[in-house]
C-alpha cells in the first residue's frame, strides 16, 4: 500500500530530527531552551472550540522540545475533522489523515506551530494549533519562537492507466471498479481526506427490494400514486413504452390480490423521471434505476452493511429507501477504503492534491490532468486509458449557483446557506470539462433541501427521527400550524418553507410509534454522533413533556398547536389529509415532544457535464471526448428538475462503477 499522506518530506524530517537530537542532549533541568525557545518541561492541556464542540489537546514538553501532542477529547466530524473509523472503531488511514492525527504529527516533527492546515478541515486544524499555542504559553514559552518554516518536496508527476479526479463516493466507486477490471488507478483528491460530500451524506439509498418491501402494506392513497402516473398522457414513445410496462406489472399485481408494496425497476424509473418534471434524459434515468439493486449488491459484496428495514427517505416518494448501519456516509467510504487497501498494488490515492485542468493531445483526447500539491507545486497525472471526473457538484459555490439559477423556481439564492461541504462542491470538474470542450446539461436545475440546521445550513445535529422517519413527524411553522405535506417533493416543501415566518419550520415528533427511541438514554446518539443532552443544551432541539409546554417553547398559541396535532391525528385515521399527505404510520399523542428548527438550503446541483449511458463525456455535437468519463454529481441529465432523496448515492455507486468498467473496456 502506498502511503497517501505525504506532507513531511526529507527536508522537514531532517529539521525535526535535528530539533529532537538537540533536545535529547539538553540538560535534564525542568526548563530548557531548544530550537523553539524556552519552555518548562511537563504536560499541559488546553481546550478550544472546534467545528462541532470543544477539542482538548495535551502537550508534553521534555528537555525544551515538544515531545508529544495528543488530542484527548473531540467530537469532530468523522472523516473530516476527526479520523474515519470502521464499524469496530478502528481508524482507517489509507484515505488520508484527519487534523486530529496530522496536526499533532506535523507539530512534533517540525517542532513548530507554523504547520500546514489539513485541506478541507481548516477549522479543526486551527483549533488544534491554537490549543498547542495555549500550552506553549502555559509552559512559559513564547509562541513566536515556535514558528519555523519547513521546505517540502514537490509532488512528482505520476501515471496510471486511469486517473480519477475527486475521491468522493463516485470517485472511489470508479477506482475500485477500474481496479477490478485490472487497471492501475491514481485518485487525486484535493482535501486532506477522501470522502467528499458522500462522507457526510445521510446514506439513504433507493432501490426496489422485494424481500424488504414484502413487509410493507400498500394503502389506497399509495395505490393512487401509481394510477395517477399511469393515467398521464405520454409525452414521448419512450414514456409510453415505460408506462405500458408498468401498467402490465400493476395489472398482474392487482390480479394476484397482493397487499404488499408494489415496486419494480420500471416503476422506480418512471417515478424518478416524472418527479424530476420529465426534464432528465430517460435513458440515463433507466441506467440509474435499473442498476440500483445490482449496485446495492455490489457494494454489499464489498462489505457495506445496510439496515434490514425499508423506509421512505425525505423526498424519495416511495418506501424503497435503504439506510447504512454506520454514521452518515462513513459506511460507503470506509467500505471503499478497505477494499482499496487490499488493492494497494493497483490504486494510489493522493490527498491534498487539486486537479486544475485537463491535458489533451493534438487530437483532443484527454490524457491526464495538471494538478497542484498542497504547497502549490504543479505536477501531471497521466492516464494511459482515461480520466474519470468525479469532482462532485457546485452547491457550495454561491457565485456559480447564482449564475445558473435561471429556472425561475427559486428567487435569489446568493445568501441561501448550503448543506454541502465548502471544500468540496465548488464545480471544479465542470469548469475543467468545459475548457476541454464538454457540453453541459440541466445546469439551471438546482435543488434546495429543507433539512439544514438554522445556524450553518449543514445537515448536522440531527433530530431523533432524522431523514428516514417522515411517516412519524409533522412540520409546523412558528405559529404552530402545518403548511405542507411532509412526504412530498423536496422542491415543493422548500418553496412552502420559504413562505413561512422567518423561513423556518420545526420537525415535530412525539414519543409514539415504532421509530421512537428513548432520547434520554445516554447511549442515544444523533446520526452525526451527538447525545440528546448536547442537542438540547446547545439549542438545536426543544423538548417538552406536554404539547402546551412545547407551544410555549416555540412561542406559539397552545390551542393552535393542539388543533394542528388533533387534525393530523384524524387524518391518520381517515387517510385523508388537508395537504395531501399519503404516508401515515403514527398518531402523535404522547410526550416527550421534540421540535427541531430547520430551513431550506442549497443542497444538490442536478446539472453538470453531459454523458452518454456509459459515462463518456460528450462534446457540443454529442460526440464522446476521447479519454474523458464522468460520474456522480458532476454530471447532468440524470435527475432532471427535482432529484429524489436517496437517488444521488445510487448515482455515485451505479455510475461510478460503470465509469470504471467503461474506461477499461474502451481501452481494449
Ligand atoms: C449533507 C448531505 C447529505 C446527503 N444525503 C444524501 C443521502 O442520504 N442520499 C443520497 O442519495 N444523497 C444524499 N446527498 C447527496 C449526495 O451525497 C451527493 O450527491 C453525492 O454524495 C455526491 O457524490 P460525488 O462523488 O459526486 O461527490 P463528492 O462525494 O462530493 O466527491 C467529490 C470529491 O471531489 C473532490 N474534488 C473536487 N474538486 C476537486 C479537484 N479540483 N481536484 C481534486 N479533487 C476535487 C472533493 O473534495 C470531493 O472529495 C447528500 C448531500 C449532502 C451534502
Residue range 475-522, pLDDT digits in tens: 999 999 999 999 988 899 999 999 999 999 999 999 887 767 777 788
Of 101, 105, 115, 118, the closest CA to residue 148 belongs to 115
pLDDT number for residue 31 = 43
| Residue 213 CB burial class (10 angstroms; 0-12, 13-18, ≥19) | middle
Q: Which three-class secondary structure state does DSSP give residue 400? A: helix
- Whole-number Å distance between alpha carbons of 292 and 303: 17
Which sequence spans correspond to the domains of the chain?
7-145, 198-335+391-445+606-666, 448-602
Q: What is the whole-number distance in angstroms between the Cα of residue 633 and the centre of ligand 1?
A: 7
Q: What is the whole-number distance in angstroms between the Cα of residue 394 and the centre of ligand 1?
A: 10
- Whole-number Å distance between alpha carbons of 153 and 557: 65
Residue range 612-659, pLDDT digits in tens: 999 999 999 999 999 999 999 999 999 999 999 999 999 999 999 999
- Whole-number Å distance between alpha carbons of 245 and 260: 20
Q: Is the CB of 387 under 6 A from ligand 1?
A: no
pLDDT number for residue 30 = 38
State the DSSP code for 189: -
Percentage of the chain beyond pLDDT 70 is 94
Strands 446-453 and 616-618: unpaired
Give backbone dihedrals phi and psi of 173, rounded to 5 degrees, phi first: -60, -45
DSSP 60-118: EEETTEEEEEEEEE--PPBTTTB--B-TTSPBP-TTB--HHHHHHHHHHHHT-S--PPP
Report the residue among 197, 325, 390 best suited for mutation to probe ligand 1: largest number of ligand atoms under 8 A from its CB.
197
Q: Is the CB of 243 under 6 A from ligand 1?
A: no
Global pTM value: 0.91
Question: Can 7-145 and 448-602 be said to share one CATH topology?
Answer: no
Which of the four CATH numbers 1.20.1740.10, 3.40.50.970, 3.50.50.60, 3.90.550.10 does domain 198-335+391-445+606-666 have? 3.50.50.60
Report domain 448-602's class.
Answer: alpha beta
Residue range 153-183, pLDDT digits in tens: 899 999 999 999 999 999 999 999 999 999 9
Are residues 660 and 196 in contact, defined by beta-carbon separation less than 8 angstroms?
no
Are residues 39 and 48 in contact, defined by beta-carbon separation less than 8 angstroms?
no
Give backbone dihedrals phi and psi of 261, rounded to 5 degrees, phi first: -70, 125
| Residue 163 CB burial class (10 angstroms; 0-12, 13-18, ≥19) | buried
Of 98, 105, 148, 147, the closest CA to residue 123 belongs to 98
Of 170, 217, 208, 210, the closest CA to residue 189 belongs to 170
- Whole-number Å distance between alpha carbons of 549 and 156: 64
pLDDT number for residue 37 = 65
The DSSP bridge partners found for residue 418 are 602
Rounded to the nearest 10 degrees, how much is the dihedral formed by the CA atoms of 364, 365, 371, 377?
A: -70
- Whole-number Å distance between alpha carbons of 83 and 304: 19
- Whole-number Å distance between alpha carbons of 503 and 488: 18
- Whole-number Å distance between alpha carbons of 82 and 64: 29
Q: Which atom of ligand 1 is nearest to the CA of 204?
A: 8
For residue 21, what are the contacts with CB-CB under 8 A and spacing of at least 6?
none
Q: Which atom of ligand 1 is nearest to the CA of 355?
A: 42
Q: Whose CA is nearest to atom 51 of ligand 1?
A: 201
Side-chain half-sphere exposure of 394, counting CA atoms within 13 A? 27
| More confident position, 485 or 586 | 485
Q: Which three-class secondary structure state does DSSP give residue 277? A: coil
> Strands, DSSP E only, in 130-283?
158-165, 185-188, 204-206
Residue range 223-275, pLDDT digits in tens: 999 999 999 999 999 999 999 999 999 999 999 999 999 999 999 999 999 99
Q: Is the CB of 50 under 6 A from ligand 1?
A: no
Of 394, 398, 396, the closest CA to residue 414 belongs to 398
Report the residue among 4, 79, 168 best suited for mutation to probe ligand 1: largest number of ligand atoms under 8 A from its CB.
168
Q: Which three-class secondary structure state does DSSP give residue 49? A: strand
The DSSP bridge partners found for residue 85 are 91
Residue 149 has pLDDT above 90, yes or no: no
Q: Is the CB of 604 under 6 A from ligand 1?
A: yes
Q: Is the CB of 652 under 6 A from ligand 1?
A: yes
Whether a cis peptide bond, with omega within 30° of 0, leads into 345 is no
Residue 464 banded pLDDT, cuts 50, 70, 90 = confident
Give backbone dihedrals phi and psi of 615, rounded to 5 degrees, phi first: 80, 10
Which of the four CATH numbers 3.40.50.450, 3.40.50.12280, 3.90.1010.20, 3.40.640.10 does domain 7-145 have? 3.90.1010.20
Average pLDDT over residues 581-594: 91
Q: What is the whole-number distance in angstroms between the Cα of residue 384 and the centre of ligand 1?
A: 26
Residue range 22-48, pLDDT digits in tens: 222 222 233 444 555 689 999 999 999
Amino acid at each position: 500500500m502506498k502511503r497517501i499522506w505525504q506532507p513531511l518530506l526529507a527536508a522537514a524530517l531532517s529539521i525535526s530530527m535535528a530539533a529532537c537530537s538537540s533536545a535529547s542532549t539538553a540538560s535534564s533541568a525542568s526548563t530548557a531552551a531548544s530550537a523553539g525557545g524556552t519552555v518548562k518541561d511537563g504536560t499541559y492541556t488546553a481546550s478550544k472550540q472546534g467545528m462541532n464542540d470543544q477539542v482538548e489537546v495535551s502537550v508534553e514538553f521534555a528537555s525544551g522540545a515538544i515531545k508529544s501532542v495528543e488530542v484527548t477529547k473531540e467530537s469532530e466530524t468523522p472523516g473530516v475533522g476527526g479520523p474515519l473509523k470502521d464499524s469496530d472503531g478502528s481508524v482507517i488511514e489509507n484515505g488520508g489523515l484527519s487534523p486530529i492525527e496530522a496536526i499533532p504529527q506535523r507539530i512534533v516533527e517540525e517542532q513548530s506551530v507554523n504547520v500546514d492546515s489539513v485541506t478541507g478541515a481548516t477549522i479543526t486544524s486551527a483549533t488544534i494549533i491554537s490549543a498547542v499555542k495555549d500550552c506553549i504559553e502555559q509552559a512559559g514559552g513564547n509562541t513566536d519562537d515556535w514558528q519555523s518554516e519547513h521546505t517540502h518536496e514537490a509532488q512528482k508527476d505520476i501515471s496510471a492507466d486511469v486517473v480519477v479526479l475527486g475521491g468522493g463516493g463516485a470517485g472511489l466507486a470508479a477506482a475500485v471498479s477500474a481496479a477490478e477490471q485490472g487497471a492501475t488507478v491514481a485518485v487525486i483528491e484535493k482535501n486532506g481526506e477522501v470522502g467528499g460530500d458522500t462522507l457526510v451524506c445521510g446514506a439513504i439509498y433507493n432501490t426496489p427490494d422485494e424481500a424488504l418491501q414484502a413487509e410493507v402494506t400498500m394503502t389506497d392513497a399509495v395505490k393512487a400514486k401509481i394510477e395517477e402516473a399511469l393515467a398521464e398522457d405520454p409525452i414521448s414513445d419512450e414514456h409510453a413504452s415505460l408506462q405500458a410496462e408498468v401498467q402490465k406489472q400493476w395489472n398482474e399485481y392487482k390480479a394476484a390480490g397482493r397487499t404488499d408494496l408494489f415496486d419494480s425497476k420500471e416503476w422506480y424509473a418512471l417515478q424518478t423521471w416524472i418527479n424530476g418534471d420529465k426534464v432528465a434524459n430517460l435513458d440515463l434515468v433507466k441506467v440509474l434505476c435499473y442498476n440500483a439493486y445490482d449496485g446495492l449488491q455490489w457494494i454489499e459484496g464489498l462489505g457495506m452493511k445496510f439496515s434490514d428495514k425499508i423506509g421512505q427517505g425525505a423526498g424519495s416518494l416511495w418506501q424503497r429507501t435503504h439506510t447504512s448501519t454506520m454514521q452518515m456516509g462513513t459506511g460507503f467510504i470506509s467500505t471503499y477504503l478497505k477494499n482499496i487497501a487490499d488493492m494497494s498494488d493497483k490504486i494510489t490515492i493522493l490527498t491534498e492534491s487539486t486537479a486544475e485542468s485537463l491535458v489533451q493531445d493534438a487530437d483532443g483526447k484527454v490524457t491526464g490532468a495538471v494538478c497542484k500539491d498542497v504547497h502549490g507545486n504543479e505536477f501531471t497525472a497521466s492516464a494511459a486509458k482515461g480520466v474519470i471526473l468525479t469532482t462532485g457538484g457546485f452547491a457550495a459555490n454561491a457565485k456559480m449557483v447564482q449564475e445558473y439559477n435561471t429556472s425561475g423556481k427559486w428567487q435569489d439564492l446568493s445568501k441561501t446557506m448550503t448543506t454541502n461541504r465548502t471544500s468540496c462542491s465548488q464545480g471544479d470538474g465542470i469548469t475543467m470539462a468545459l475548457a476541454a470542450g464538454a457540453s453541459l446539461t440541466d445546469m439551471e436545475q438546482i435543488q434546495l433541501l429543507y433539512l439544514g440546521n438554522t445556524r450553518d445550513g449543514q445537515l448536522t445535529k440531527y433530530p431523533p427521527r432524522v431523514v428516514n422517519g417522515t411517516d412519524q413527524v409533522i412540520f409546523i411553522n412558528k405559529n404552530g400550524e402545518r403548511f405542507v405535506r411532509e412526504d412530498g417533493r423536496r422542491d415543493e416543501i422548500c418553496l412552502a418553507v420559504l413562505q413561512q415566518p422567518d423561513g423556518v419550520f420545526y420537525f415535530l415528533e412525539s414519543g409514539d410509534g415504532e421509530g421512537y427511541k428513548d432520547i434520554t438514554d445516554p447511549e442515544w446518539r444523533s446520526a452525526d454522533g451527538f447525545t440528546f443532552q448536547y442537542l438540547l443544551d446547545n439549542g438545536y432541539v426543544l423538548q417538552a413533556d406536554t404539547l402546551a409546554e412545547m407551544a410555549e417553547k416555540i412561542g406559539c398559541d397552545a390551542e393552535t398547536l393542539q388543533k394542528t396535532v388533533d387534525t393530523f391525528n384524524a387524518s391518520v385515521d381517515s387517510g385523508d389529509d388537508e395537504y395531501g399527505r399519503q404516508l401515515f404510520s403514527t398518531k402523535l399523542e404522547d410526550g416527550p415532544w421534540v421540535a427541531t428548527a430547520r430551513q431550506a438550503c442549497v443542497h444538490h446541483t442536478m446539472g453538470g457535464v453531459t454523458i452518454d449511458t456509459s459515462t463518456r463525456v460528450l462534446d457540443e455535437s454529442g460526440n464522446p471526448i476521447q479519454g474523458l468519463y464522468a460520474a456522480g454529481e458532476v454530471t447532468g441529465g440524470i435527475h432532471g428538475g427535482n432529484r429524489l432523496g436517496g437517488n444521488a448515492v445510487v448515482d455515485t455507486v451505479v455510475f461510478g462503477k460503470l465509469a470504471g468498467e467503461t474506461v477499461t473496456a474502451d481501452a481494449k
